[in-house]
Amino acid sequence: MEQGNWASAQQILLKALHKDSLNVQAELMLSDWFFNQNNPARHFDSAYRHNLRALSAFQISPLKQKEKLKQDHADSTSIVQLRQRIDSTAFEDAKQINTEESYQNFVQKFQFAKERPAAIELRDEVAFVNVLRQNSYAAFDDYLKLYPKSHRAKDGKDRYEKLLFDSKTKDRKLKSYVTFVNEFPSSPYRTMADKNIFEVITSGGYSDDFVKFIADYPQNFFVNRARNFLFYIGREPDEKNVPSWMTDSLRNVVEISKLNWVLVYRNGKYGFMDSYGKETFSPQFDAIEEDYKCGPVKDDILVTSNGLFSRNGVRLADKTWFTKDLGFGFLKVGDSSCVKVLHKSGVWVIENCVQDASILNGRFLIVKTNGLFVLYTLSGRVLWPAQWSSIEMMEGVIVLDRDGKKTLCLPSQLVSATDGNPLPENFVFDNVKSLGDDRLLVSNGTLEGIINSNLEFIVPLERQSLFQMPFGLVRRINDQFIFAGLAPELENTTWEHFRFYRQWLLLKNRDDEKLVDVHSKKIIESKPDSLWVANGLVFASGKDSVHVHINS
């Protein structure tokens, strides 16, 4: 070996082992042979294997032989020292390669190395970096199965749960959230899935939506919130038949609300008592709403120096804010610099500071922020982001104004959008005006038309002028007038002139005149010789007769 004759040296050592398989010195020399850095056939695994054999042979050697081996520096101390050098060198080699496989090989093959804990940590770290690149819940799941005791296990578990939830619910549809809850009921994202189920099902804002949610998802974490919202949406304090979905605490709210309260003042503090003389709040407030001093207190939310309280004693907010009841259980609270939306059950629906808030038709929440309006569900889910200069409802249709352009949509379309469906924006007009009877007059430039509350065109959009008369709609196209909905004979006919008098509509063309009773929607006179109004009567002459029509 000193002369660099590696093959001959190996043959000598192997012959020695062939004669004596427990030759400690031969095993130790072979270990050194495989470990020597000048050996072209250097191999750490073989060096390690022969080292372990040398130690095993030494341990079972007779005592006299052990004494001789010690004198020849072939004892257990020398063997272990060489093994430790092999361990350290193999570990450095694994670090140079720096792969999951290199560290795993070291851990498996060098079982007595003091570097094993460091190798395990490095293996787990390199494997974790590889999984991060893949960034899928399946990859993290495999990682946790392979290395459950990894120092990255918690981080891997957190990422696995997040990616699993995101992957299973990426379409943001109700069915995906429901399936997720059924398949992974113990997931830390179960509450988030439950919240989405609650928000999607109740997004229409109808009381029936909340009733259905309570009935269909009794194990959902948001059932009590649904009960509280439902209670205030359709609250009837004097209702005798209490719905089955109400909790004892809500029944208590009903009973408490039936009584008028009066102010109590003692020892410089304000409190309240009910109409039976029972003290409901012991005197504890330095100040209260000034109106409470003027008569019976009927408010279900009390404004005090200690904050906002419900009648059942629950503190809704620690700070005394300006408060406005928006209806349907919602309060606008705050000051000139910050407005928030609080539900009377104690839930902050809009917790961030906004400029203003209101309820739209009892079904949606409008919030103003940075000068623009956002549309929310009653549960606080964003339906449309802040991009509108105004939001209102006309004839059951939601009108969203952005820079003078008005987008129309149905509440049902908004509800559908909460289930991951695209929101249509194909009804956009310059002007929108309510005509009553579920009809809207819409225009784009010189084009005018009429749509109903289902966003269906009653009168197509074209170059025309539309105006409402007491008897109905009049269309003017190229100085010709068209009357719809009065009599079948008038449909799609045009007239040069018309006059409306009380219940009479007088129509005239170059070669035709008609008298229409707008009450009965019938043509009374057709092609008379002449037709005129005088002294509150309508006259029609024809041949040798004059017909006189009086108002019914």
Domains by residue range for the chain, with CATH: 467-549 (2.40.10)
> How much is the pLDDT for 357?
94
Residue found by looking up tokens 């189920």 in the block: 197
At residue 418, the pLDDT reads 85
- With a cut of 70, say whether residue 497 has pLDDT above it: yes
pLDDT digits (tens, 9 = 90+) for 157-198: 999 999 999 999 999 999 999 999 999 999 999 999 999 999
Query: What is the Cα–Cα distance from 467 to 481, expressed in whole angstroms?
Result: 11
Each residue of 105-116: b (16+ CB within 10 Å) or e?
bbbeebeebebb
> Which residues are 406's β-sheet partners?
401, 429
For residue 415, give every residue at least 6 positions away whose Cβ sits within 8 Å of its Cβ, in sequence order, or none: 203, 204
d(C-alpha 366, C-alpha 389), whole Å:
11
d(CA 218, CA 222): 9
Which pLDDT band, with edges at 50, 70 and 90, does 236 fall under?
Answer: very low
The SS3 of residue 395 is coil
3-state secondary structure (DSSP) of residue 547: strand
Assign 249 to helix, strand or coil. helix
499 by DSSP, 3-state: which? strand
Q: What is d(CA 366, CA 393) in angstroms, rounded to the nearest whole number?
A: 11
- Average pLDDT (315-326) is 83
Q: Which residue has the tokens 């940075």?
A: 370
Bigger pLDDT: 37 vs 355: 355
CA distance 58 to 22: 8
**Token output for 56:** 């095993």
Question: Which pLDDT belongs to residue 147?
Answer: 95
- One DSSP character per residue, 203-235 reads TT--HHHHHHHHHH-TTSTTHHHHHHHHHHHT-
Q: If we measure between CA atoms, which residue out of 475, 466, 472, 515 comes closest to residue 493?
A: 475
Per-residue confidence (pLDDT) for residue 389, from 0 to 100: 93
Least reliable range by pLDDT among 16-20, 339-343, 509-513: 16-20
Token pair 């052990």 in the structure block, residue: 66
| pLDDT at residue 509, as a whole number | 92
Angle of the 6-19 helix axis to the 24-35 helix axis, nearest 10: 150
pTM value is 0.75
Q: What phi-psi label fits residue 420: left (phi over 0), alpha (psi between -120 and 50 degrees) or beta?
A: left
Q: Where does the pLDDT of residue 239 fall: very low under 50, low under 70, confident under 90, or very high at 90 and above?
A: very low
Res 61: pLDDT: 82
Measured distance CA(231)–CA(415) in Å, rounded: 21
Residue 490's φ and ψ, nearest 5 degrees, are -90, -15
Q: Can you state the angle between helices 116-134 and 76-97, rounded to 10 degrees?
A: 20
Q: What is the pLDDT of residue 241?
A: 46
Q: Give yes or no for a contact between 58 and 69, defined as CB atoms under 8 angstroms apart.
A: yes
Return the amino acid letter for 303.
V
Tokens of 273: 């008592």
pLDDT band at 209 (very low <50, low <70, confident <90, very high): very high
Instruction: Output the six-digit token pair for 10.
Output: 């190996």
- DSSP-assigned letter for residue 33: H
pLDDT class for 378, splitting at 50, 70, 90?
very high
Across 276-287, average pLDDT: 91
> Given pLDDT bands bounded at 50, 70 and 90, which one contains residue 139?
very high
DSSP at 421: P
Are 77 and 107 in contact, with CB atoms under 8 Å apart? no
What's the DSSP call for residue 58?
Answer: H
- pLDDT value at residue 237: 45
Q: What is the average pLDDT value for the chain, to the nearest integer?
A: 88
**How is 334-387 classified by DSSP, letter by letter?**
E-SS-EEEEETTS-EEEEEEESEEEEETTTEEEEEETTEEEEEETTS-EEEEEE
Q: Is 329 left (phi over 0), alpha (psi -120 to 50) or beta?
A: left
Question: Please, what is the end-to-end C-alpha distance for the chain in angstroms?
Answer: 132
pLDDT-derived band at 336 (thresholds 50, 70, 90) equals confident
Residue 158 in tokens: 């957190």
pLDDT cut 70: percent of the chain above it: 96
What is the pLDDT at residue 253?
66
Give me the count of residues in the chain: 552
DSSP 64-98: HHHHHHHHTT-SHHHHHHHHHHHHHHHHHHHHHH-
Q: Helices marked H in 385-456 — which ranges?
A: 411-417
Give the pLDDT score at 250.
67
What crossing angle do the helices spanning 116-134 and 100-109 adopt, rounded to 10°?
Answer: 150
For the residues 272-276, what does the mean pLDDT come to? 90
Asked if 397 contacts 410 with a C-beta cutoff of 8 angstroms, the reply is yes
Residues in contact with 386: Cβ distance below 8 Å, sequence separation at least 6, in sequence order: 369, 370, 372, 373, 374
Q: Per-residue confidence at 28, pLDDT binned at 50, 70, 90?
A: confident
Mean pLDDT of 400-409: 92
